[in-house]
Every structure is written in C-alpha cells, then in structure tokens.
Chain A
Amino acid sequence: MEFRRRSYKKEEELGGDLPRSRVNVHPLSPCSDSSYHSQFHEAVDNSVEEFFDPLRGTSTGVVGVSCDSDNVEFNSSIKVNNHDPLRDWTMFKKFLMQRFPVSKLVRISTISDGILRSHKYNDKSSTSLHPEEADDSKNFADADTRYTTRQEYVSRLIDFKEKLRQAWQSDDRVASLKIAIKVARLLMDTSVLQFYPSLFVLATDVMDLLGDLVWQRIKEKAELSEDGIMLRPLPENFVASDVCSDAKETCYNWLSKIGSVKELLPRIYLELAVFPCWRFLLNQPMDSFKRIGKMMRGLTDPLSSSYCRLYMAYTASKFTSHDTEILITCIKDMMFVLEHAILNNSREYYGDRKKLLMSLMEPTIGYIMRNIFKSASQEHLDNILVEFDLNSKGRIVPCASIFIHYLIKELPDEALNTKSMEIVDLIGRYNDGNFDQCINYRLLGFRLCESASPANTVHVVNTVFQVVSQWDELEKYLNVVDPYVDLVLQNHMDDLLMRMVKGISERAEGRGFSEVELGDLQSILLKLLSHFKDPGAHLFMTHCLELLDMMYGSFRSTINLQILNTATRNGAIRDPVIIQLLLEICLAVIDSLDQANISNDEQMTRLISRFINLVDYNFEMEHHLAFLVRCRKELGGSNETKEALVHASNKLVIRGLKDGKHPDFIKSCMAFNEVTIPAVSNMLKQLNLYIETAEVAILGGLISHMDRLIQSVVSCLKIIMLEGPGGTYNVDIFLSAFQKASNLLVMSPSNPEVNTLQNLQSFLELIESGAWMMPMIRFRSLSTILWLAAIHSQEVLPYHIKGSQLAFEGDVSMLYGLLSFSETIVQKLLDSVQEEPSKATHGGMALDACNCIASVFEINNEVSNICYDLLKTAKVCLGSSNKYVKSTGKFLERRTLGSSVVTTTN
C-alpha cells in the first residue's frame, strides 16, 4: 500500500470551497404551502426518508394552527368559568374552612349542645315546628358552656345532611325540614369562634341541599302529572304565569312552613335557601330579596349577621347579576351593626377578642365587596364612596378601616385610579387601631402599581409620603414605602426617591433591622436594582450600599446575588471600584454559603464565572493578571471558576500577542495556566483546557511551553483512557478532544528524543488500553490516527510553526514504518467495523472506512478490494438507494479512475 500524495498548497490555491447551488426557497423559511412541499421534494432526491425531519415537514404548520384554536377555546371557557358564581363559592368555602385554625375542643352553647345531642339519640319527640316551647328554658340560661370536639361537630353536621337526604327520599319531607331548621339554629351560636366559618360552610351545605330538593319537587309538580309522566317541560327562562296552580300551591306551602319558624336567623337562612322558588310565584322576586335584606337588620350579633349576609350575597349571585344595590346596603348595614355593637358593648368588643371577631368577619366583607364590583354599573362606581357614606362629617365609623381595606382590594382598576386621592384621604381619616393604616396604604400602593396608567399618581404618592414621613417606626415606614418605590421609579420622581431612601437610613441608624423589616428592605433594594440595572448607578452606590452593609442573613445574600446578576448583564465591567465591590460581594456570598454548608452552589459559580469573564482592565493587562491571581486565591473553589480563570488568561495572551506585549507577560500568563489547570478535578475539563492552552501557545510561538503542554495532554488522555470519560455525553467530548490532540501532533515540532512514529505508537497503545470504548468510538479514534499517519507521510506538512524544524525530511525508513503502522491500523479499522452490532451504524461505519481508506491510500488492487467490500457491506445494511452509499460509490469510481483532480465530498 501506498499513501496518497497530497499537495496542500495546491489544494489551497485551487480554492477548497464546497460547491454551492442555488435554491428558490430557503429550506428553513416557514411555509405551509403544499405546492412548495411538492416542489421541494422534486428538487431533492425522491428517496424515502427513514426519519421525519421536522425542519422539512410542512404538515406541522397545520397542526400548529389547530392547537392554537383549541387553546383559544380553552381560554375562553376558563374566562366564562371565572365568573361562575358556583365555582367561585366552592373555592371560597374551601378557603373559609382552611383559613382559621381550629383547636380540637370547640366551645358551644347549651342550645347547640341540645341540638347535637338530640340528633345523636335520634330524638323524634319534637313533632311540632315550634320547638321553642321546649327550649324556652334554655334561651336565657346561657351561663353554662359546653364543649365538643371539632371532629364530633363536623361529623354530626355531615350526618345531618345525610339524614336530610334520606328522609326526603323516603318522602318524609317534614322531617327533612325539621333537620334543616335544627342545623340553621346551630348558626345562632357564635361562641364557637374560630369554628364558625367551618360551621357556616357545613350548615349552608345542608341548607343548599334542602333548597335544591324543594326546587326539584316544585318543578316536578309543575312539569309532571301525578303518575310521573312529563306533561310540559318548563322553559329555561320560565315566568310565574307558566306555572300551574298545583306547583304554586306547593311552593306557597313550603314558604309558609318556613315562615312559621320562630327564630329570626334560622328563618332567614331557610328563606334564602329556598329563595329561587319565588320564581314559581312571582315574576319579579327581587322585592322579596330586598325584604329579606331588611329583615337581617334584626340580627344584632356582628359575626352571625355578617355570615348571614354572606349567604345572602351568594344567593343573590346565583340568581341575578343586578345585585349591586342590595350588596351595598349589606355593607352599610354591616357597618351599622358593628358600630352599634362596639359602641354599646365594649365589654365584648375590645382587645384580642375584638381582633379575633374582626378577622372572622373579614372574609365576608371581602366576598361581598368582590361581588359588588363584579356587577357594578359605572354610575355605582362613580358614587361608591358616597354610597358607603364614610365621609360624612361628624360620623366616625369604627372599624371602617377593614371596609376600606376590602374596598381598595376589590375596586376595579379604573375606578381606583380616578378615586385614588379620595381613598388616600379616607385612609388617613380612619386611624382606628384595628387595621393598621399602613396596611391600607401599602395595599393602595400595590394596586396603583398594578394598574395600567394611574391618573394622579404623583399627587397620591406625595400625599402618602407626607403622612408616612411623620412616622418614626421603621417597620411601618418600610412597609408603606415598599410599593411606592415602584411608582416613584415609574414616574421618575428622583428627588422623592432620595428622600425615601434617606428616610430609611435615618430611622435605621444605630438600630439595625429586624427580620420583618429586612424583608421589605430587600424588596425595595431589588426594585432599585432592577430599575437602575447597574449597581454602579449613583443613587445606588451612595445610599444603598450602607443599607446593604446593615443587612444580614439570607436577605443580604439575595441582594448580593442580585447585584452580581445585574452587574454581569451589562457587558464588560471596567470601573476598578465596581470590580473591587463585586469581588467583595463574591467573597461575602461564598462566606455565607460556607456558613450554610452549601458547597457548589451552581448559580453562584455561574455568576462568578461570568464576573471573571466580564472584567476588563483594558490596557492594564498586568492588573488583570493580578486580578486573576487574586480570584484564584480567594474565589477559586469550583471547577467552573478555574475554567473561567484559564479562559480569561488565554484571552489575555491573545490580546497580549495582538498588542505586542512583552513575551515575559505572555509567559507569565502561560505559567498561570499551567498552575491552575492541574487543580481542576474533572479530567475531561483538564484535557480541554490543556488543549486550548496548547493552541494558544502555538499561536504565540512558545515552543517549549507547547511541548510540555502536549505531554500533559497525552498524560490526561492516558488517564481518561484508563478510567473512561463517564457518560455518553462525555464520550463525545472526549472524542473531539482526542481529535484535537491529534491535530496538535501535526503541528508539534520534532522532538529528537521522541519521533513521530513513536508518538503514533503510543497513541495506538492508548486506544487499545481503552476497554470501555465502543466499536464506533474506537473506529473514529483509529481513523484519526490513520489520517495523522497519512499527514506525516507527506513531504510537506500543511502547517508548521515558525522556527521549528520540520518533522519529516524524506526519511525512507520513517515512511516504511508509517506504512506498516497504517496497515495494522487498517486491519483494526476493519475489525471494529465488523464488531458493530447495530445495522445502520455498521453500514455508516463501513462507508466511513471506505471513504477514509480511499482518501488516504493510492488505489491499487488491494485497496480497491477492501473498499468495494466495505461498499457491499454498506449496501446490504443501508440499501443501495441510500444517498451516502451512492455518493461513496461515486467517490470510489472517481478515485479508481485515477483522476488527479480530487474534489472529495468527505
């Protein structure tokens, strides 16, 4: 066999460009035109593709469209559901049950106790609907308190529901009603406190059930005959005149039965539960609704009446969407009731108990407010504050701050914007110790931030700040300032911003921050950072750094990380002050991670690497190198950091070469690398770093360095070969590293001690030692060495380093050595091709081998036999119509014809 002669210079002169041909349409452009599809296929070989190429498949365009339309429909159905009162209510009930933690023991009144017990023993003695004759004695004797467990109470209620259903199914409807009345009476007992919301949820479940059953019954009466045959179905929007008198009769009976319940609260709940049935009797049932609302004024306990109003709001939402008036009246009445209770019954309504009661009432206020604004007309919105009548002179509504809170929370954006000044005034007016003013200011701030274009923001912010700056307490100050920072930044109120930040430092002076305050401070600093996008900004530097110093713990780390993050997004970091600052921040973060025993924090190492990469000392490269050294000493814990340092140093070398720096500087950089790289624990990374540094050394003409580096490369290769690179991903990296390392050998000057052939032998040994190598990998490595041998056989090498000696100077024995070496390689190549189990890969490898051998050697009989054998194998595996097979065949033909103009399509 004979190596193919190549003249690299000639090839370069002839222009080794790949052939290009023009197409009409860019293959990557999006196009769902089917005509294009066919056109494209005509242009390309009409071979059957074994795989689906997503870049070419135009059917994906159609699929994408239908997906979008599905998404749109899905979204719109979700939108509809958002206003579904039933779904809203279910979620609200869940929230109620979970919001208030209930202790195991629940305190109940004697009446409730009686009800719960009576059911336990299945007491049927009370046959009348007027059980007050029996219970009168208990009405006034409320000195006794009993207890039951939460579990017991809940299971009792669930039991009630089941019994109601059973009674109804066995046609004992009177018993069902009695059960419902009992359950409703349980709601009169507010001594259960935190359990009340859960009690409400469970009890209203029972009453909803009754309401549904009664509705069904009356509807059946209207639609079916006595024997159950459908006579005439009621239309969806039926009116009272559509209903027959029998059904009306039944409806009236039910309403009068409920009307005979003595106590007010149960009666109201039951009336609400069956309220939809009014439709059978009246065309306009809403008047009845208003009446019920007025009846509620007879309930004086704020807690039970607020939940009763909640139930009313829910019923209204099911029934109609024009319930704004009623709900506004609800809120006003609630305010009255609270006012009255607090002013007249200070024994009960003060201190912790008051706080608890108010917090229990909060969800009801929130729900009603939300429902008011869901359906409020523009007119209502415009006058909403007037309607709530909070501003009238001489009237101070206690606990109004809660109502204001929910007003701010639920008011739609537009109305909020126009009324922001009035609301600010309102908040200022009501400084009852109940809901801290700061909470309301804060909420207002957040809402203004969220809204699109708030109208009098500047005015509002200034007013609020005036109020807030009177406060001395740091916590409250921070609490309120937090959301307003956003507004201040949006409206470029720089002066105010300075004053705000100064205000924080003033109040924090000598005092430090508590955890709660730190949270708010962190949020403020993050906002400033993201606004200015540069920690070097003047405002930030002057004020925030001193605040930052006073922070501690995870808050400080968050800010530090964020500063790093922001800083590394701005491009090169040039200012030495900033560099120093960032370095200190990196140190601080590393410290804190150490303290928390977190090693290898990925985000941190990523940020540090980025930081190192972005630092740019411009012309002061010595300083840069010093910086790198310092970084290595202080920051260099992880492999990524070391990598970054090595990369940075290599970049310095390149720049230094370009700028004509003194060779000593270059050498010191190289030395830096040579010291740093061995510290990297990952062998594969080391290998790549060595290769990179070697390449840089070649660029710089540093021959001795290069030698040493290549030795290090080889020793790395040895180690990896023995151990295996670990993981298929790493195998690919290794392979490319191996190939690069081989390339280095092309350029390495001759070492009188070790000649090229020995080098190649040692490489071969390396490959043999790699027991972990799959046939494919071995094949690739072997073909690389084959190429290497071919190159070294040429008279003139493609590249050489200035001032180095040429490797091969026509040494014939060397040539023979290379040839025989290559023959062994070829044999091993063929072996590894045979070993490959997978058919497709086998075929591919055969073709690769064929191409390789045909390119390396002159075509003689032996070579041609080998190649055609390989081609046959490939045809068997892949099929003769495979494009690669075909093109290889053509290539072989060309080579066999012995044309000297070689344009390979390798």
Chain B
Amino acid sequence: MSSSPSSSTSGPTVEIKLSRSSRVFRPSDIIEGKIVVRSASSVSHYGVRLSINGSVNMQVRGGSAGIIESLVGAVKPITIVNRIIEVRSPGRIPRGTTEMPFSIGLRQPGEDNYERFYETFHGANINIQYLLTADITRGYLQKSLSGMMEFIVESDKAELLDQPMSPEMVVFYITQDTQKHPLLPELKSGGFRVTGKMSTLCSLSDPISGHLTVDTSVVPIQSIDLHLFRTESVLFGDRIVTETSLVQTTQIADGDVCRGLTLPLYIILPRLLTCPTVLAGPFSVEFKVSIVITFQSELSKTYTKTDPRNPKLWTAMETLPLELVRTK
C-alpha cells in the first residue's frame, strides 16, 4: 500500500511502501519498507531522510454541558516517538524509478521506556497517530520533496494478556423502574421488561457479545439498538474536559419482536476507532455501551434527529462500561 504522493503531477514523486500490507506493527518490531522516488529527470539532493513520528494529539471542544466556551483549543501533544534517520547521503537520484530500502525500529534498544507506546486511535478529540515521513532536501530555492505514510501500532506481546480470554459478562435488566428519565405514561403503567447479558471486558480482536430477551412489553417496540460510545478526557490546564461521542450504532431488532425470543448481541469492534482502554495522566480513552429500546409512539414521529445520549420519553436504555484490551 502506498501513501499519496506529495508533489504535483509534473514533478518527481516520493512514496513510502511498507513491507506489511496491513501496516500493523508492534513497538518491538523493525519497520521495513522502501522509499520510492519517481522522476522524469535526475534529481540532485542534499540527503534523503526518514522520520518516524508518534504522538497523542488532543483538542478540546465546547459543546458538552457545563464547559465554558472559552475552553476551546488545542492541548500540547504528547510525543511518543520522534526520530530521524538518514537513508541516503547527499547525492544524485537517477532518472526513472528509484527504490531506497530502509528499516527503522520504534523502540530504541537501551532507551528508557518511559513513554508507553499507546495504540493507534482516531477519536473525536484524541488522536494517537504514528507517521513515517520521507524528506528529500534539495538545493537552495528548491522545495524539498516529501512523502508520508501512517502506520498502525498495536501493543507489544510482552504487555498482552494471555489468550484465550473469556469476556466478563454482566447481566442487565431494563424495566420502567430502572429508568432515570421520564417515560410516557403508557410505558409507566403498562410496563416492560428486557433482560440480557453483555460483556464488559472484551478483547479488541473479539466481538462484543451477549444476548437480550424481551420478556414483556405492553407498548409495541419500534427498534432496539446498541450504541458504542467513546469517552475521551483531556487534561486542560487544571481541568479535565470529558466528552462522550458515538462510535457506532448497531440495530439489534427492527419492529416489535416476539416475547421470550433471545436475540444475540454481536458487534465487531471497528479498527482505528477503538483501542484498548487507556487511563494515562494527561488523557484517557474509555468506552461504554448503551442498549436503547425505542417504543412505538406518535410522538417519536415528530422528533427526527435522535441523539442516543439523550433519552426520550419513548425510549428506555441501559448503559454499561466496556473495557477493551488487546490480546494475542
């Protein structure tokens, strides 16, 4: 796989190709690849350098209730790894396609592991990203050529838990009495009961599993959905700003399901949008799962946009924390 070339179509292009098509590496791995330069004419340069960059970028947005609007801005990113190696010394790159192999490790031998290698994560406010950048500096007045490639880092074997790991399951009940928000009168009076089981500790390579049964419900059900949330917390000055956003919604039932039939819960965790639960000092990434039951009601038709975090009169929900870990 290749990254997008940097220069315009007429000039020479620089691409980075990695040895693994999946682009997944462990901190202890040596990343091997090649820098591919395509040029119509020969290029003279002052050196070809490859830099490896890993950092946690954070930002804080207004919008969650209670945060003063002035608290909008970027937080200083945390550097995980930042190193440059020289792949070629100054010289000349001939015309045509030139491949320059490289190998670079994430961890330096003997280096202090004071910075943990967090796994790649693309969140709303927190972005943990690892990049390889190839730079070819040219002479004065000439713009340098560069190419970039993101790669994915997953935790080391040494830090991993043993496989197989059975997910920890938790039994839950959803009834008209367990709801913290107001409900429609017919729901309150008629009542409903939904029971189930779900995992609260789950490996990233396994799906979220569980099951759910509608025991009774007087009011017919419109749909049952499972929402996966991420909660990102960032230390901003002396405050911790937390925001919960939706990762993915999965519909479990469409319409009024039969009573007493067990429905399975099965959600494959999306790569890059989830990572192991991280509780570091300056930031934290956590997850939770919300099971929302929407009942059929006339009112629901007037509300078109539904925010799964804000329960409505005609919905019932149960939210459970979800700890994700990497196993292999």
Contact = CB atoms under 8 A, between A and B. Distances in A.
Contacts of A543: none
Interface stretch (A67-75, A249-257, A389-397): A249-257
Contact of A298 (B220, B253, B304, B306): B253
A136 B257 contact: no
A188 B252 CA distance: 15
B249 A295 contact: no
A287 B305 CA distance: 37
Nearest to B271: A256
A132 interface: yes
Contacts of B266: 259, 291, 295
Most chain B C-beta atoms within 10 Å of own C-beta, residue among A132, A253, A260, A345: A260
Contacts of A297: 253, 257-258, 261-263
B258 A263 contact: no
B268 A340 contact: no
Nearest to B266: A291
Contact of B248 (A136, A249, A260, A339): A260
A300 B305 contact: no
B248 A294 contact: no
Contact of B254 (A141, A226, A299): A299
A140 B249 contact: no
B22 A249 contact: yes
Given A259-B207, A291-B264, A300 B300 contact: no
B28 interface: no
A136 B306 contact: yes
A337 interface: yes
Q: Which 7 A-B pairs have CB atoms at the shortest separation, nearest pair first?
A: A300-B255, A298-B253, A259-B268, A137-B304, A264-B251, A256-B268, A340-B258
A246 interface: yes
A630 interface: no
Contacts of A137: 304-305
A888 B248 CA distance: 106
A262 interface: yes
Interface in A210-230: 226
Contact of B268 (A255, A301, A337, A344): A255
A130 interface: yes
A253 B253 contact: no
Contacts, number: 95
B324 to A, nearest CB: 14
Given A246-B21, A256-B270, A260-B270, A298 B257 contact: yes
Given A336-B258, A344-B220, A136 B304 contact: yes
A238 B22 CA distance: 23
B116 interface: no
Interface of B: 21-22, 24, 207, 220, 224-225, 248-259, 261-264, 266-271, 300-301, 304-306
Given A249-B22, A294-B264, A297-B263, A263 B251 contact: yes
Contacts of A295: 263-264, 266
A262 B251 contact: yes
A181 interface: no
A291 B256 CA distance: 20
Given A130-B248, A226-B21, A344 B263 contact: no
Given A136-B305, A256-B271, A294-B263, A299 B249 contact: no
A140 B268 contact: no
B13 to A, nearest CB: 19
Contacts of B271: 253, 256
Interface of A: 130, 132, 136-137, 139-141, 188, 226, 246, 249, 253, 255-256, 259-260, 262-265, 267, 291, 294-295, 297-301, 333, 336-337, 339-340, 344-345
Most chain B C-beta atoms within 10 Å of own C-beta, residue among A130, A264, A340, A344: A264
A606 B249 CA distance: 79
A449 to B, nearest CB: 39
A337 B270 CA distance: 32
Contacts of B253: 264, 297-300
Contacts of A249: 21-22, 24
B149 to A, nearest CB: 16
Nearest to A249: B22
Given A259-B268, A295-B266, A344-B220, 4 more contacts: A188-B254, A265-B254, A297-B261, A333-B261
Contacts of A255: 268
B255 A299 contact: yes
Contacts of B300: 140
Contact of B263 (A132, A136, A253, A298): A298
Most chain B C-beta atoms within 10 Å of own C-beta, residue among A267, A300, A337: A300
Contacts of A265: 254
A263 B269 CA distance: 16
Nearest to B252: A298
A300 B268 CA distance: 23
Contacts of A344: 220, 256
B20 to A, nearest CB: 8
A247 B79 CA distance: 33
Nearest to B260: A336
Contacts of A336: 258, 261
A759 to B, nearest CB: 102
B263 A340 contact: no
A556 B168 CA distance: 78
A202 to B, nearest CB: 22
B304 A140 contact: yes
Given A259-B268, A291-B264, A300 B250 contact: no
17 contacts: A130-B249, A136-B304, A188-B254, A226-B21, A256-B270, A259-B207, A262-B248, A262-B251, A263-B254, A264-B252, A264-B254, A291-B264, A297-B263, A298-B251, A298-B263, A299-B253, A337-B258
Contacts of A264: 251-254
Nearest to B306: A136
A17 B131 CA distance: 116
Nearest to B302: A140
Nearest to B303: A140
Contacts of B262: 294, 297
Nearest to B209: A291
Nearest to A296: B263
A672 to B, nearest CB: 85
Contacts of A262: 225, 248-251
Contacts of B255: 299-301
B264 A340 contact: no
Nearest to B268: A259
A298 B301 CA distance: 21
B21 A300 contact: no
A291 B209 CA distance: 11
Contacts of A298: 224, 251-254, 257, 263
Given A264-B253, A300-B254, A141 B21 contact: no
Nearest to A141: B301
Contacts of B22: 246, 249
Nearest to A336: B258
B44 to A, nearest CB: 31
A506 B24 CA distance: 85
A297 B270 CA distance: 24
B127 to A, nearest CB: 18
Nearest to A258: B268
Nearest to A263: B251
